[in-house]
Amino acid sequence: MAIWTQDVKLGPVGPDGPFPQTNTIGALIGLRITEIGEDFLRGTLPVDHRTHQPFGRLHGGASCVLAEELGSVGASLCLDPRVAFAVGLEINANHVRGIFEGLVTGTARPLHIGRSTQVWEVRIEDEQQRLVCISRLTVAVVALDRGRK
């Protein structure tokens, strides 16, 4: 049984994808939402000049952006958007393999879906399915009447 309360459109983060905002970090670095399953969300990120650190490797911060985007989108899809929204509270990332080019794929799965918090694990792998980064994201669930003016 699927954990989602809403549908998501697959594609790039930006004007032609699931989230039409153009001036977001995900849109600027080429993040794409590529797959949604019963209990996971998957997305990709190019490893290129937009996501490199000064030594030509994938920047750890770019991995964190991918993890945060996938976990936050996943958390949001588990909520009724008329009642609450999800915001990042804490992220942890272990960068275990350097990568210089290609595409990385992140797979986000919930470890805990609660009323006030959710915890998501995001595995980021290279094109040979080797682990590049393992991340854990905690999000806060905020009631609309408390979080927006």
Which CATH number goes with the domain that contains 48? 3.10.129.10
Domain around 116: 11-147
Q: What is the mean pLDDT of the chain?
A: 90
Residue 37 has pLDDT above 80, yes or no: yes
* Domain-located, residue 42: yes
* Domain-located, residue 2: no
* Domain-located, residue 116: yes
Residue 20 has pLDDT above 70, yes or no: no
Q: What is the mean pLDDT of residues 18-22?
A: 59
Residue with tokens 């979080």: 147
* Domain-located, residue 1: no
pLDDT bucket at 11, cuts 50 / 70 / 90: low
Identify the CA nearest to 106 among candidates 37, 32, 43.
43
Number of domains in the chain: 1
Q: What is the mean pLDDT of residues 133-147?
A: 90
Residue 113 has pLDDT above 70, yes or no: yes
**Residue 68 is a catalytic residue:** yes
What is the amino acid identity at position 144? Answer: L
Strand ranges (DSSP E) for the chain?
Answer: 11-12, 32-36, 41-47, 84-95, 102-113, 117-125, 131-143
Q: Say if residues 92 and 133 touch (Cβ distance below 8 Å).
A: no
Q: Which of 35, 38, 68, 69 is catalytic?
A: 68
* Domain-located, residue 98: yes
* Domain-located, residue 112: yes
Q: Say if residues 107 and 42 touch (Cβ distance below 8 Å).
A: yes
